[in-house]
Amino acid sequence: MSRSPYLFSTHDLPRRPGEMREYFVPIEVHDVMGFDILAIATDEPIDIELKLESVSDGVLATANVRSLATGECTRCLDPVEIDIDENFVELYEYSEDPRIVRKREKKMSERAKAKKLEEEELDEEDEIRQMDGEDIDLEGPIRDAIILNLPINPLCTPDCPGLCPECGEKWRDLPDDHAHQVTDIRWAGLEGLELPESE
């Protein structure tokens, strides 16, 4: 199984609080990120300027994410390109040795176990992330930073007039007096019918 491109090893970051390292992390190939109408393509690089800092509970990741999203204007369907330049800050808690966790759980009373379960549920709501050994998974924070800030209705220009609903041509390419004769559909069947001449 291939390693996820979003996994980053913190091996060379000392575990002493206050230690800090900076990295440039290019993600060259990844799944499409975004929506059907606007997304970062699989072969569009996602560049990350990453700063990792050791804190008492784990590793604090501060990052700037840059890329290019492509899609189409929701009014005129022209191609659209949007520069991505977003930031995130995420705390990754150290993972605990499972042997220590099991030993501690054996000593816990039922009341303490119930309290621990409640705390875990709160942790899930706050989306506290844990390290996997020395690895941190950047996918969640990157997706949140990008997708939550993508426009739902991308436009080629803020004042794009869109398309004529009758002929489908772009309003910007049509003359100012462009119009279509509106026919009442109730009388459409009589179009072209010639009345007999009166004697």
* Residues 28 and 79 placed together within one structural domain of the fold: yes
What stretches of 43-178 show up as alpha helix (H) in DSSP?
98-107, 110-125, 139-147
pLDDT on residue 161: 82
User: Other C-beta atoms within 10 Å of 185: how many?
Assistant: 7
pLDDT on residue 72: 93
* Residues 13 and 83 placed together within one structural domain of the fold: yes
* Residues 70 and 120 placed together within one structural domain of the fold: no
* Residues 154 and 65 placed together within one structural domain of the fold: yes
Question: Quick check: is 37 in a domain?
Answer: yes
Rounded Cα distance, 90 and 130, in Å:
10
C-alpha to C-alpha distances, 38 to 34, 66, 150, 156, 162, nearest whole angstrom: 6, 16, 8, 12, 17
- Tell me which residue range forms the domain holding 110: 98-126
* Residues 152 and 86 placed together within one structural domain of the fold: yes
Beta strand 79-93 with 129-130 is parallel
Task: Please state the domain count of the chain.
Answer: 2
pLDDT on residue 33: 94
Question: Quick check: is 2 in a domain?
Answer: no
Per-residue pLDDT of the chain (199 residues; tens, 9 = 90+): 678 899 999 999 998 999 999 999 999 989 999 999 999 999 999 999 999 999 988 999 999 999 999 999 988 888 999 999 999 999 999 876 444 445 545 555 666 656 656 665 544 445 678 898 899 999 999 999 999 999 989 998 888 887 776 776 676 666 666 776 666 666 566 565 665 665 5
Distance of CA 139 to the CA centre of its chain: 10
Rounded Cα distance, 59 and 10, in Å:
9
Cβ pair 89, 60 in contact under 8 A: yes
Question: Quick check: is 187 in a domain?
Answer: no
Question: Quick check: is 30 in a domain?
Answer: yes
Rounded Cα distance, 140 and 158, in Å:
30
pLDDT on residue 159: 85
pLDDT on residue 75: 86
Q: Which of the 8 DSSP states describes residue 74?
A: T
pLDDT on residue 164: 77
Question: Quick check: is 173 in a domain?
Answer: no
Question: Quick check: is 186 in a domain?
Answer: no
* Residues 152 and 77 placed together within one structural domain of the fold: yes
| Residue 111 identity (one-letter amino acid) | R
pLDDT on residue 162: 78
Question: Quick check: is 154 in a domain?
Answer: yes
* Residues 34 and 51 placed together within one structural domain of the fold: yes
Question: Quick check: is 56 in a domain?
Answer: yes
User: Other C-beta atoms within 10 Å of 146: how many?
Assistant: 20
pLDDT on residue 187: 59
Cβ pair 40, 61 in contact under 8 A: no
